[in-house]
Amino acid sequence: MAPAYALHAMSRDHLPMIRRWLETPEVVRWWGDPDEQYALVSGDLDHPDMDQFIVALGENPFGYIQCYALSAWNQGFGPQPQSTRGIDQFIGKPDMIGRGHGSTFIRQFTDGLLAAGIPRIVTDPDPGNARAVRAYTRAGFQSERVIETPDGPALMMVRNP
């Protein structure tokens, strides 16, 4: 049986931990400059179209997931069904990477969105990030096409009910 992950709404109290996670080598590799990413993540904390969560296993917070309305952040996804949401995530604790946690908490999170009536969820990992592509695939996403984003090419992946 898959473990149940707790999702805690991110608050300003979580920002020091997020800052540390953004500085880990694996997160830097795929998310980029920690200062820039910290400014974006912390700046979106009060945005009405962005939901941000800390992912925990038991009392152990280890990851971050954000979910946003495409009306605010359409990074080249093209036309999508109304109310489609985009997601991005990372695991901030290196010892939790490569253990199946990513695909499992992504599936748990997106199952909840779909059950609540969200018609489609999209994400856009770097095409070279094989670990992320595998995690999203295991979480029920399908690869659709390579798109251009402000950060360069990305693999658009979708999850439908």
**Digit-coded pLDDT (tens) for 148-157:** 888 889 999 9
Could you tell me the residue ranges of all domains in the chain? Answer: 6-121
* pLDDT, position 134: 95
Residue in the block written with tokens 């748990």: 108
Q: Is the pLDDT of residue 3 over 90?
A: no
Would you tell me how many other CB atoms lie within 10 Å of the CB of residue 136?
A: 28
* pLDDT, position 1: 59
Give me the half-sphere count of Cα atoms (radius 13 Å) on the Cβ side of residue 152.
7
Mean pLDDT for the stretch of residues 10-33: 96
Would you tell me how many other CB atoms lie within 10 Å of the CB of residue 31?
A: 21
Residue 33 class from Cβ within 10 Å (0-12 exposed, 13-18 middle, 19+ buried)? exposed
* pLDDT, position 45: 94
Q: Is the pLDDT of residue 139 over 80?
A: yes
The string of pLDDT tens digits covering residues 74-128 is: 668 888 999 999 999 999 999 999 888 999 999 999 999 999 999 999 999 999 9
| Topology at the third CATH level for domain 6-121 | Aminopeptidase (3.40.630)
The string of pLDDT tens digits covering residues 34-89 is: 999 999 999 999 999 999 999 999 889 999 999 999 876 666 888 899 999 999 99
Q: Is the pLDDT of residue 129 over 90?
A: yes
* pLDDT, position 81: 92
Please give the backbone phi and psi of residue 142, each rounded to the nearest 5 degrees, phi first: -120, 140
* pLDDT, position 121: 97
